[in-house]
Amino acid sequence: MTAHLPDWMNRPRCDQTPAWRELGRCYEQTGRAFDLRQAFAAEPDRFDRFSVNAPQVFADLSRNRIDAATTRALLALAQECRLELHRDAMFAGEAINTTEGRAVLHTLLRCPRSAPGDAVTPALQPLLSEVHNTLDAMLDFAETLRADPAITDVVNIGIGGSDLGPQMAVLALDAFADSGKRLHFVSNVDGHELAACLKRLQPRSTVFLIASKTFTTVETMTNAHSARRWFEAEGGAGLDIGRHFIGLTTNLAAAGAFGIRTTFGFWDWVGGRYSVWSAIGLPLAIAIGAAGFRDFLAGAHAMDQHFRRAPLADNLPVRLGLLDVWYRNFLGFTSRSIAPYHSALKRFPAYLQQLEMESNGKRVDLAGQPLPYGTSPVLWGEPGTNGQHAYFQMLHQGTDVVPVEFIAVIKARHDLPGHQPMLLANALAQAQALMQGKVDAGGQKDFPGNRPSTFLLLDDLTPASLGALIALHEHRVFVSGSLWGINSFDQWGVELGKVLAKDIEPRLTSGDTDGLDGSSAGLLRRIRAVF
């Protein structure tokens, strides 16, 4: 790399370090044949040595295929790749999103207004003031809407991070929802989704939140215009559109042309999958109130400080990100299953899919050079105990080893007797069964065991703990992406299919197949025959 680049760009890629070679030796010496059962037998204190405490989250890493030597090599890898320098550059507002020339400052969205000087650089103080001015206005609006008895339903129309984040969080914190409002989320351009939502609504008592930074997102604006046509046709023509349609956007002109008067914007240094802390989080603020939303931000900020301050060995996002590199690049595990043992976290696996796979699903490094190793694993999962009766069969007895990330919450937010002990027992038992296995000479009932898992434990699912849990995974993704030498903050892979869709859509009417490949042309003709 050239000397004139900032220090944080003059970092070696993971495969260019002595630690990477040492990890290869660790794999050959112990990793390839590592057996968790033998490790626990030889290390009575293994649970204590491989557990990490972080704000709101306790992590048991002891059931992972790592030992002390591998852990030392992984920590050395983080140091040799100058991870801390890259992290500090992000928090300082450097333009680490290199392909778009942008800073990455979602952490500023949850930084307290009165944060000490070592938390926010002087250069960022004016931005922090803007953040809090917008936050105050958004929360004032949320409280006003919460207190409005004429409004019964709120519909969020967005896609990607503008949908997954607030939808996941609203579901997760349903126990704290006290506004009396019904919240709905529409993202898919498939009209069946919007139509099914609209049939349950009345224009007079509904508010639509149109979440699009540019106010040009095709899927979102298609749904928004359809919602407005429904609104006008079903009795809303005589009502004030400006009262019933709110813009979460920075394109004030386009929102105004739509009929929107009230908008809440955010900044180009906020990526969609990192935007739940911004105005995109308005549905959550409506659901749980301003105080709850501030607790949500505070939990995330506490995890930010942990990521910034904790030594690498005691830093949970760092430890998880390093583990992800070890599994992906040395043990060859290509996927990870997320198993939240709390029904309110039912959308958390989908949220993590976007967060990690959109961030780190890249095949070239910062210089645009092809990578000689894999990056993002495939993330998938369902809440326990549902997953146990579905895909856990493969986890226990399949030919592929899939690390599992259990997420459990100790306290219940209901008073139904017997349910919580049974739920927690199942989570503990599944992790135990994956590791221990069971021998069956006949083969059919043989469980090979030695299947790794991570156990994340929350005392309670609250706004603060959810904020911390999300921030933990944001920083974990940063860690692995930094070591792989990729830009975790762009998403060019989202664009090509959208561009081609604009070409294909008019062909469905015209029937023109010129220039299309044989498959696309054949499918188009078949669709037109029925369309």
Whether 389 is catalytic: yes
List 389, 411, 419, 445, catalytic entry: 389
**Please, are residues 401 and 333 in contact by the beta-carbon 8 Å criterion?**
yes
Q: How many CA atoms lie within 13 A of 205 on its CB side?
A: 12
Cα 56–Cα 60–Cα 64 angle in degrees, nearest 5: 145
Query: For residue 517, what are the contacts with CB-CB under 8 A and spacing of at least 6?
Result: none
Whether 28 is catalytic: no
Distance, C-alpha 50 to centroid of its chain: 25
- Give the pairing of strands 453-458 and 57-60: antiparallel
Query: For residue 46, what are the contacts with CB-CB under 8 A and spacing of at least 6?
Result: 39, 40, 62
| Tokens of residue 6, six digits | 């900032």
Consecutive H or E run containing 196 = helix 191-198
- Give the pairing of strands 335-341 and 378-381: parallel
List the beta bridge partners of residue 156: 185, 209
List 22, 358, 382, 405, catalytic entry: 358
What DSSP character marks residue 98?
Answer: T
54 backbone dihedrals φ, ψ, rounded to 5°? -135, 165
Distance CA 167, CA 183 (A): 9
- Quick check: helix, strand or coil at residue 245? strand
Residue for token pair 């000087």:
117
List the beta bridge partners of residue 263: 247
Distance CA 449, CA 395 (A): 10
| Tokens of residue 288, six digits | 């749980």
Residue for token pair 């991070």:
161
List the beta bridge partners of residue 370: 364
Whether 358 is catalytic: yes
Query: For residue 153, what are the contacts with CB-CB under 8 A and spacing of at least 6?
Result: 181, 182, 183, 184, 200, 201, 202, 205, 206, 207
User: Which residues are catalytically annotated?
Assistant: 358, 389, 498
